[in-house]
A and B are shown apart, each in its own frame.
Chain A
Amino acid sequence: MSDYPQLHIAGESALIVYLGEQSSPEVSARVQALGEALAQSMADLLVDLIPSYASLLVLFDPLRTDHFQVSQLVRETASNLPAQTVTTGTLVSIPVYYDPECGEDIEALAKHAGLAWEEVAKLHSDQEYRVYAIGFAPGFAYLGDVDERIAAPRKATPRQRVPRGAVAIADRQTAIYPAPSPGGWNLIGRSPLRMFDPQAEQPMPVRVGDRVRFEAIDRDRFLALGGEL
């Protein structure tokens, strides 16, 4: 970890802080810890923070501070973080109806992996994931790492419209589409849970750093929970 953090200029009012070369739960935990610490140490010099897999983009007010001061603050804050950051994110359970009916790519993905589609569903729901980043669209959470056996590249031609709630895989990432949008990920099922509700007091059920488990549900339960096919 001695090569990190690495700081790069990302604009007149931005620094990007790299905390590792690859994504890993440890690096992600450091990204989260640094973000929380900077929100305190930078106070109102801070405009926004964008955490991702292995980096934290720090946007500051360029009329009140500069790269020099922010770099100092970032280095100081990073060096004061505990060497081992423990993952403490909340565990969130997300119900998923796995079925070729709504997971249009699950059979192709299973065939490619030499598995039955039920096994794909089992492997997907058998483990815990980490929320590495939120972006692309409001409430779109990038979860990892998907079991290598069911990792699948993005589709060559993205779909024009992926429905809300679609549960999908791209490489070793998985996600739940928070709203209808174009998308190139492989669809394996659908969740009745709303990943982004701007009217709700808590608009998203997960935050970066949280842990997620998928709970397989059947068609009736899916519909009872408000899912739409």
Chain B
Amino acid sequence: MNGLVIRQPGLLSLLQDRGRFGQAGLGLTTGGPMDPIAAAIANRLLQNSTQATLIEVSFGGLEVEAMEDVQVAITGATLPVLCDGEERPMWTVLSLRAGQLLNLGFSEHGCRSYLAIRGGFAIPKSFGSTATVVREGIGGINGQRLSPGDELPRTPAKPTPALWLPPAHRPQYPKRAIVRVIPGYQQAAFPRLEQRRFYAGEYQVSDRCDRMGYRLEGPVIACDLNGILSEGIAPGAIQVPADGQPIVLLNDRQTIGGYPKLGTALSLDCIALAQLRPGATVNFSPITEHRAHNALHLAQVFEQSRRYETAPG
């Protein structure tokens, strides 16, 4: 066989492509990388398609063995990388020889890292995507997280020039986030004072944070509504259940739900949130949909201006 074999999967390693779209009518959620920017950089370094399947490693701890000579790239949350015990860099194309062991230590800054392979992993699609959603049992290998012995073949592709992303061009993973929110949904049912409390307050990421959503702890927000007729949930929607503690709903969220929502977090800031660990501080700041669009377009231009260079040495 070609590609890689999983020796140790770490806490949570999942095969992901960009996500599953157009299937919400069946109740299927989006999935996809929690940090699509870091994932895209990994594929870009290897000159893969933007759709290529890679591994999302949450909190590190992944160990893989190369079954052939392959090129890989590791991006996202900072973690130590060892190849047969020797330290190797992130944000660059790495060459592995058949039989070599690549080990990712535990993440030091951020918590979602990405391991891409030249050509992308060759995984059959289900419902148009390889994205693994464990809750649904869909995507990846039998809808499950990666486990020891899993064989991950790759799509054949010629070796690519060794590119890297110079340090100044790499994303940063700070320990706190200011999450911009586009007010919407049932915001009118949240009294003004409650909205002010939400936007002025400081929240901590709770232990209950996963790919479905990040539950925050902080000032309690009251709503005039107890529940609503179940309706569609957009990625980043911020729902406030009866206990008043907001939940930012992310990639693996349920597609419909009946809790009132006061708005939706900007996708760029959902990425920052998804890189935070329990205990990290989060503030919310309201913005208009116009400013949100401006931010998205600026981010797009910024991505295009990231400088990929020939790796030194």
Give A residues with C-beta under 8 Å from B: 8-14, 16, 22-23, 47-57, 59, 62-63, 66-67, 133-140, 142, 179, 196, 198, 203-204, 207-208
Closest residue of B by beta carbon distance from A21: B229
Given contacts A63-B296, A138-B27, contact A55 B266 (CB under 8 A): no
Q: How far is the CA of A221 from the CA of B33 in the complex (A)?
A: 45
| B183 contacts partner chain A, Cβ-Cβ < 8 Å | yes
Interface-located stretch among B18-26, B91-99, B156-164: B18-26
Q: How far is the CA of A59 from the CA of B182 in the complex (A)?
A: 15
| B302 contacts partner chain A, Cβ-Cβ < 8 Å | no
Q: How far is the CA of A59 from the CA of B289 in the complex (A)?
A: 14
Given contacts A22-B229, A138-B136, A179-B137, contact A10 B234 (CB under 8 A): yes
List the A side residues contacting B235 at CB < 8 Å. Answer: 11
Closest residue of A by beta carbon distance from B126: A198
Q: How far is the CA of A213 from the CA of B26 in the complex (A)?
A: 20
Q: How far is the CA of A134 from the CA of B300 in the complex (A)?
A: 34
| B43 contacts partner chain A, Cβ-Cβ < 8 Å | no
| 28 contacts across the A-B interface (CB closer than 8 A) | A11-B237, A12-B264, A12-B296, A14-B264, A16-B231, A22-B229, A50-B231, A52-B230, A53-B231, A54-B229, A59-B234, A62-B296, A63-B296, A63-B297, A66-B289, A67-B289, A134-B27, A135-B27, A137-B27, A138-B138, A139-B26, A139-B27, A142-B230, A198-B138, A203-B127, A204-B26, A207-B25, A208-B25
Closest residue of A by beta carbon distance from B236: A11
> Cβ of B25 and Cβ of A138 under 8 Å apart?
no
Interface-centre pick from A63, A135, A140 (highest chain B CB count, 10 A) = A135
| B200 contacts partner chain A, Cβ-Cβ < 8 Å | no
List the B side residues contacting A11 at CB < 8 Å. Answer: 182, 184, 234-237, 263-265
Contacting residue for B25 out of A10, A23, A49, A62, CB 8 A? A49
Given contacts A48-B22, A134-B25, contact A9 B182 (CB under 8 A): yes
Q: How far is the CB of A171 from chain B (nearest CB, A)?
A: 11
> Cβ of A50 and Cβ of B26 under 8 Å apart?
no
Q: How far is the CB of B294 from chain A (nearest CB, A)?
A: 10
Q: Apart from A9-B184, A12-B267, A53-B230, what 4 extra A-B contacts exist at CB < 8 Å?
A: A10-B234, A11-B265, A135-B230, A137-B27
Q: How far is the CA of A12 from the CA of B264 in the complex (A)?
A: 8
| B255 contacts partner chain A, Cβ-Cβ < 8 Å | yes
Interface residues of B in 234-259 (CB under 8 A from A): 234-237, 254-257
Q: How far is the CA of A72 from the CA of B136 in the complex (A)?
A: 35
**Chain B interface residue count, Cβ-Cβ cutoff 8 angstroms:** 45
List the B side residues contacting A204 at CB < 8 Å. Answer: 26
Contacting residue for B182 out of A12, A16, A203, CB 8 A? A12
Contacting residue for A47 out of B21, B233, B255, B257, CB 8 A? B21
Q: How far is the CA of A48 from the CA of B229 in the complex (A)?
A: 20
Q: How far is the CA of A134 from the CA of B254 in the complex (A)?
A: 11
| B307 contacts partner chain A, Cβ-Cβ < 8 Å | no
> Cβ of A203 and Cβ of B26 under 8 Å apart?
yes
Q: Quick one: CB contact mask for B212-244 with A, threshold 8 Å, 1 for yes?
A: 000000000000000001111111110000000
Q: How far is the CA of A198 from the CA of B293 in the complex (A)?
A: 36
Given contacts A12-B182, A198-B126, contact A52 B21 (CB under 8 A): no
Q: How far is the CA of A14 from the CA of B232 in the complex (A)?
A: 10
